């Protein structure tokens, strides 16, 4: 299966994506992780990306698309879940073109809905645990704004294609995962 998972920063999409890949044996592709790896390498591209990420802005489409294409080409045929991409309409269209070329179109788009208050609380907790440099209050506010302005329209994009499902992201990790299992029609009782 080829899935796109969407949700505001702090919606839990990364956590749920990790559970889904385990269950369905998919490849987990997170553009946030790809970018953080580039930053950790200390390459010129990584340095440039870090400045943008620390402001809570989107890294340029060219850079992210380049990293993504490289990663997709090195993956197998088992299917994948894309986490953190696409984040604007231009990326959604570029993804369609790229996946069409690879003969691997997106089959499911999954949106995790959470309210803003909850997201802010969760990220504050994560900041204390993980120390991500883009989890400061000011940056989080900007990430939420960027999400509302640029990423929320992507949800409509997939709704128009008729492949969108939405789940509520409140409650425990396990509760949210059970909702996702229902939507993706994953069998079993674990």
CA angle 113, 96, 57 (to 5 degrees): 55
Task: List the structure tokens of 162.
Answer: 């008729």
Size of site (CB under 6 A) for ligand ADP: 18
Cβ atoms < 10 Å from Cβ of 117: 8
Among 59, 114, 144, 167, binds ligand ADP (CB under 6 A): 59
Among 32, 94, 109, 122, binds ligand ADP (CB under 6 A): 32
Select from 30-38, 103-111, 165-173, 175-183 the region that touches ligand ADP (CB under 6 A): 30-38
- Which residue's Cβ lies closest to ligand ADP? 32
Q: Is 87 a catalytic residue?
A: yes
* Structure-derived torsion over alpha carbons of residues 42, 5, 152, 46, reported in degrees to the nearest 10: 0
CA angle 75, 181, 114 (to 5 degrees): 95
Nearest to 177 by CA among 5, 30, 28, 32: 5
Task: Report how far residue 108's alpha carbon sits from residue 128's, in angstroms, rounded to the nearest whole number.
Answer: 33
Contact between 114 and ligand ADP per CB under 6 A: no
The residue among 143 and 181 lying less far from ligand ADP, judged by its C-beta, is: 143
Select from 19-27, 48-56, 110-118, 169-177 the region that touches ligand ADP (CB under 6 A): 48-56
Contact between 9 and ligand ADP per CB under 6 A: yes
Selecting among 13, 36, 71, 181, the annotated active-site residue is: 13
- Interaction pattern, residues 125-144, with ligand ADP; x per rule: CB under 6 A: ---------x--------x-
Select from 81-89, 94-102, 109-117, 159-167 the region that touches ligand ADP (CB under 6 A): 81-89
Pinpoint the alpha helices (H) of 75-166: 89-102, 116-130, 137-146, 152-161
Selecting among 50, 87, 122, 181, the annotated active-site residue is: 87
Decide if 132 contacts 20 (C-beta within 8 A).
no
Task: List the structure tokens of 142.
Answer: 């900007």
The CB-of-64 to ligand ADP minimum distance in angstroms stands at: 4
Contact between 12 and ligand ADP per CB under 6 A: no
List active site positions.
13, 87, 126, 132, 143
């Amino acid at each position: 299966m080829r899935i796109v998972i969407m949700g505001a920063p702090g919606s839990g999409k990364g956590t749920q994506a990790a559970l889904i890949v385990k269950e369905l044996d998919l490849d987990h592709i997170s553009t946030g992780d790809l970018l953080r790896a580039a930053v950790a390498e200390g390459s010129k591209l990584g340095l440039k990306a870090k400045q943008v990420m620390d402001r809570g802005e989107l890294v340029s489409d060219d850079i992210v698309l380049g990293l993504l294409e490289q990663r997709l080409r090195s993956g197998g045929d088992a299917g994948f879940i894309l986490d953190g991409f696409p984040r604007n309409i231009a990326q959604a269209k570029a993804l369609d073109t790229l996946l069409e070329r690879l003969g691997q179109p997106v089959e499911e788009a999954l949106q995790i809905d959470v309210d803003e208050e909850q997201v802010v609380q969760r990220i504050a907790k994560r900041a204390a645990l993980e120390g991500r440099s883009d989890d400061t209050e000011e940056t989080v506010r900007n990430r939420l704004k960027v999400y509302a302005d640029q990423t929320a329209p992507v949800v409509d994009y997939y709704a128009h294609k008729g492949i969108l499902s939405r789940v509520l992201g409140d409650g425990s990790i396990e509760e949210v995962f059970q909702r996702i299992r229902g939507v993706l029609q994953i069998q079993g009782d674990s």
